A and B are shown apart, each in its own frame.
Chain A
Amino acid sequence: MQTSMIKTLETPVSGTAGLNTAMVAQLGAVYSQSSFQVLGISMYSESASTCVVGTYMDTESDTPTPFVAVNTAGEGVGTATWVVTGFRQTMDYGITGLNERAGLFNLAEIPSTSTNWPNAGWVAVGHVWTPSAPTNLSPLIVIVALDGTTTIHSSEVLGVNPASAWLVTSFGGTVTRKPAMMCDVVYDAQNDSLVAIGNADDTASAVRTYSCWTEMVSAAVPPTFIQNLNYGLSDNVNYPSFLRSCAIQTQDASGTTVANRTIVMSVGFVDNTKNGSWTLYQPNFSNPWGGGNPRFSWIEKGTNIGTEFYSAQGLSAGDTPSYLTLCNRLTADGEDIYFVGGIAPNGIFGYGISGVQTDSTGGGADNIINPGGVSTDLIFTEIKNMIDPFRENNVGDYNNTDPTSAITDIVALGKNNGTSGRRTKIYSAGYEENGRNAPTVATALGGDKTYILAISRGMILTSNEVGISGISQLLFLPSATRMKLAVFTQSDVTKISYAEADLDLSGGASAILDVSVATGHAAYAWFEYLLYDGVDSLIARKLNEMGVRVTIANVEWYKQDILKQGLDVSTDFFNEWGELKIEENRQRDKVAEQFGRKRNPKRQVRTELFDDYADYEDKESQIKAFPDYDPANDGNPFKDDVALEQEVGKTQKAVDDLRRIEDLVDEETNDEAEYDDEADVSDWGEN
């Protein structure tokens, strides 16, 4: 079987300098040159527009600061007209020395049909530094329009829907918990609402943090949040728990898209003594909680007890992830697959999952999650351990067995909902530090390279050829730890944009590029011919008519043969033809005469001879009017010199004969005795 693996990167166009120039021009002196790190990219589905989010270093206190940039001139990051917005006003620069960067980290696309989020192209989420123990972080939520204008939906410092005032989802009211980190966000098209994930501080405690879900139902309404008080929490201030990455589905058990079966799958970190966390969450806006417990369940609480995923899968200690960093749902290639990835002591961790369902009653899948405290059955229709394939697919100097090695992004390629096109996947490999979303000091990372690699649609085959292609073109930064990918939505040529972020601060700015991805397959065809032009084409045709192979040698031979006869090349065929014709006529006449069909009647000698002479002018005019044309002389009538000379000669002979006969007649009249055998007077005279 031949699959559609991506093997080459073609026609790269870098946008790094362009974005840096735009940031210098639009952020001014507060922007530290070449300091931006792009941590999220999104191509708008309905039109050619691209948004990137991330962080830059602000010169005021050399502090990471969020920014968003929109390419308003088209799709991609290579050739772009950027509208850049920095959010230094949302930062408290009095805070220093945090482990987590401030920035915008992910974004969700909002369709033009949205009514709850009017004029929004994306909603971007992140967090900024604010004085709020224990994390000193607060959410930053920004609504981004396609023209690059931004509206802050939540900022603690600016007092715009501050997280400290957010109500608890379904329950209402405020509590001592307050959302802090915000790492990822997904859009629910059926409910026109968003779910973001991250963590929450307990303001009543100096150390406790919780995994947290935030619901955003409208641009006009402040977000609400909920945390789990029992699982996914940390009391280590240096390693707060948080949810890092999430994906969404809105379908019932039969796969039909419905509004009341939303499930958000999230993965993250608990603390540095536990394993990566993995949850399912059903929003209040989808399936109202009714004031009861939130609808969430844990596939992995990170405690690695026997009934949970890691133990149930029989994973060794070296393969059990300490931190799950990536949860993507991939559908563009026609397969509906969740990818869950993270870091493990022995290297990359990864699982592919197809068909996520829940059973709330024990009566079969219904895609409902029971409120907390009540068990729910999880059904994965198909699941595949991808740890070994990812660890074996190596390229360059990438180390995929380091405790920080991770898949940093994965995308599916396909068209028309996966019914056509390439239908395959690519992913990026890099490094993630345990317990950090975007570290400020990343010395613990096990490497500083990111690469693009390929995996087949069904996650059966992997290939490093695309990585080798990129290395040979020097496309990858000499120092980078995280790469994000985005697929062009408006291009018929398969293209992606990617952004490498250098979180260990050793290599300068991000690299952002547009590049075509392809198989590199090429088919060649060759057609070779000899073209005979002009008189050579005439010779070639002659040879072909004679049944002789038309080759250069044969054409030249025939041409030389003609020249040897001393004839004009341009008329030799016709001369030859004329001679042959005369000879043929002569033979035919001879045969005809022999068979009596052309014996001349007995006639008087004089009359016969004069007849030949008498029609001379008529014959000459007929020869001149001979209806043949010379193709070598622009189609002028061909002059049959041979025939003409023949006729003239014949006539001349006839005239000569006539004269000779007349002379003979005269002689016969004057001396007839000379020509008979009878004796006469004269005969005797001399005797």
Chain B
Amino acid sequence: MAIRRQGIQFVIADNGSESETALEQFIDKPQSIFTSGYGSANLTQSQQLLDNQFMVVQSMGSSAGLFASDNGWTPRGYMNIRVESTSYYTNPDGKPQEGLSGTGAPYPILINRMRSYSSFPRVYLQGGTTFDITYYMASNFVGSPDNFSGGSYIQTMVG
């Protein structure tokens, strides 16, 4: 019987530990920070609370930044909570939305990256509930290639 405050950090990085295929497949879709198999999400079972447990989501955050540039890469990431089959952030049509922006709720919190949400709207998870935390990253890890361009050149050669 206890009250425990716990946190989980998920990291995925292009640092030689991930294959190019994984880096390309990770983006553009919500990925579980527990079980997706990417980065540090290496759990093999989905998250389900025991009957005698009660969870209150305190906060979520992710790397900040919306627009990647040549000199400053950002993931343009979003977090979402999925309870059973329902996502917390949904579009009006009921389909899952990208979620909580890393710019709105940054992690880590820095002097120039403070949270726009003073307190995250609490989500209560009853005992026996299956839940998941997803991270959606829109930017490309490996970037978009530029194209070679230049003027034409013609010369008469002599052998």
Give me the interface of B with A, judged by CB distance under 8 Å. Answer: 1-22, 24, 33, 39, 52-63, 68-70, 73, 75, 77, 79, 102, 107-108, 122, 124, 126-127, 133, 135, 137, 139-159
Interface flags, A4-20, vs B, CB<8A=1, else 0: 11001011000000000
**Interface residues in A455-469 (C-beta closer than 8 Å to B):** 456-461
Say yes or no for A317: interface residue by CB 8 A criterion: no
CB distance from B115 to the nearest CB of A (A): 11
Please tell me if the beta carbons of A536 and B3 are within 8 angstroms of each other in the complex: yes
CB distance from A324 to the nearest CB of B (A): 16
Residues of A within 8 A of B57 (CB): 527-529
Say yes or no for A391: interface residue by CB 8 A criterion: no
With A519-B73, A550-B54 known to touch, is A383 a contact of B146 (CB < 8 Å)? no
CB distance from A2 to the nearest CB of B (A): 4
Say yes or no for A334: interface residue by CB 8 A criterion: yes
Please tell me if the beta carbons of A293 and B124 are within 8 angstroms of each other in the complex: no
Please tell me if the beta carbons of B152 and A382 are within 8 angstroms of each other in the complex: yes
Residues of A within 8 A of B122 (CB): 549-550
CB distance from B89 to the nearest CB of A (A): 14
A492→B137 CA distance, assembly (Å): 21
Residues of B within 8 A of A536 (CB): 1-3, 54
Residues of A within 8 A of B12 (CB): 522-523
Say yes or no for A297: interface residue by CB 8 A criterion: yes
Please tell me if the beta carbons of B139 and A555 are within 8 angstroms of each other in the complex: no
Residues of A within 8 A of B60 (CB): 525-528
Please tell me if the beta carbons of A533 and B14 are within 8 angstroms of each other in the complex: no
Residues of A within 8 A of B151 (CB): 382-384
With A492-B21, A516-B16 known to touch, is A523 a contact of B53 (CB < 8 Å)? no
CB distance from B98 to the nearest CB of A (A): 13
Say yes or no for A453: interface residue by CB 8 A criterion: no
Residues of A within 8 A of B69 (CB): 1-2
Say yes or no for A411: interface residue by CB 8 A criterion: no
With A1-B70, A335-B147, A521-B73 known to touch, is A537 a contact of B155 (CB < 8 Å)? no
Please tell me if the beta carbons of B155 and A520 are within 8 angstroms of each other in the complex: no
A interface residue count range (under 10 / 10 to 19 / 20 to 34 / 35 or more) = 35 or more
CB distance from B9 to the nearest CB of A (A): 6
Please tell me if the beta carbons of B159 and A555 are within 8 angstroms of each other in the complex: no
With A384-B148, A523-B62, A525-B79 known to touch, is A293 a contact of B159 (CB < 8 Å)? yes
Please tell me if the beta carbons of B144 and A298 are within 8 angstroms of each other in the complex: no
A595→B118 CA distance, assembly (Å): 56
> What are the nearest 9 A-B pairs in CB distance?
A516-B16, A4-B143, A534-B1, A10-B16, A372-B159, A522-B13, A297-B157, A384-B150, A492-B19
Please tell me if the beta carbons of A527 and B53 are within 8 angstroms of each other in the complex: no
A551→B158 CA distance, assembly (Å): 86
Residues of A within 8 A of B140 (CB): 2, 4
With A493-B16, A552-B3 known to touch, is A529 a contact of B154 (CB < 8 Å)? no
A299→B68 CA distance, assembly (Å): 42
* Beyond A383-B150, A541-B54, 4 extra complex contacts between A and B, CB < 8 Å: A337-B148, A495-B16, A531-B6, A540-B124
CB distance from B101 to the nearest CB of A (A): 12
Task: Tell which of B15, B144, B156 touches A1, judged by Cβ atoms closer than 8 Å.
Answer: B144
Smallest Cβ-Cβ distance to A541: which chain B residue: B54
Say yes or no for A381: interface residue by CB 8 A criterion: yes
Please tell me if the beta carbons of A10 and B15 are within 8 angstroms of each other in the complex: yes
Task: Tell which of A228, A301, A415, A530 touches B55, judged by Cβ atoms closer than 8 Å.
Answer: A530
Please tell me if the beta carbons of B159 and A297 are within 8 angstroms of each other in the complex: yes
Task: Tell which of B2, B5, B11, B137 touches A528, judged by Cβ atoms closer than 8 Å.
Answer: B5
CB distance from B64 to the nearest CB of A (A): 10
Residues of B within 8 A of A10 (CB): 15-17
Please tell me if the beta carbons of B126 and A522 are within 8 angstroms of each other in the complex: no
With A2-B69, A519-B14, A520-B14 known to touch, is A335 a contact of B157 (CB < 8 Å)? no
Please tell me if the beta carbons of B11 and A524 are within 8 angstroms of each other in the complex: yes
CB distance from A513 to the nearest CB of B (A): 13
Say yes or no for A402: interface residue by CB 8 A criterion: no
A297→B158 CA distance, assembly (Å): 5
A354→B54 CA distance, assembly (Å): 63
Please tell me if the beta carbons of A531 and B146 are within 8 angstroms of each other in the complex: no
A296→B69 CA distance, assembly (Å): 45
CB distance from A416 to the nearest CB of B (A): 10
Residues of A within 8 A of B146 (CB): 1, 3, 456-458, 460-461
Please tell me if the beta carbons of B159 and A371 are within 8 angstroms of each other in the complex: yes
Pick out which of these stretches binds chain B: A61-69, A93-101, A166-174, A306-314: A306-314
Please tell me if the beta carbons of A518 and B15 are within 8 angstroms of each other in the complex: yes
Please tell me if the beta carbons of A380 and B141 are within 8 angstroms of each other in the complex: no
Please tell me if the beta carbons of A531 and B19 are within 8 angstroms of each other in the complex: no
Please tell me if the beta carbons of B156 and A335 are within 8 angstroms of each other in the complex: no
CB distance from A314 to the nearest CB of B (A): 12
Residues of A within 8 A of B17 (CB): 10-11, 493
Residues of B within 8 A of A422 (CB): 20, 142-143
Please tell me if the beta carbons of A527 and B20 are within 8 angstroms of each other in the complex: no
A354→B152 CA distance, assembly (Å): 9
With A5-B143, A521-B141 known to touch, is A461 a contact of B70 (CB < 8 Å)? yes
Please tell me if the beta carbons of A533 and B63 are within 8 angstroms of each other in the complex: no
Smallest Cβ-Cβ distance to A519: which chain B residue: B14
Chain A to chain B contacts (Cβ below 8 Å), 17 pairs: A228-B159, A298-B159, A312-B155, A352-B148, A374-B159, A376-B156, A379-B153, A423-B142, A457-B146, A495-B16, A518-B14, A527-B59, A529-B5, A529-B56, A530-B58, A536-B3, A550-B122
Say yes or no for A613: interface residue by CB 8 A criterion: no
Task: Tell which of B4, B14, B15 touches A530, judged by Cβ atoms closer than 8 Å.
Answer: B4
Residues of B within 8 A of A532 (CB): 3, 53-56
Residues of A within 8 A of B152 (CB): 379-383
Please tell me if the beta carbons of B18 and A493 are within 8 angstroms of each other in the complex: yes
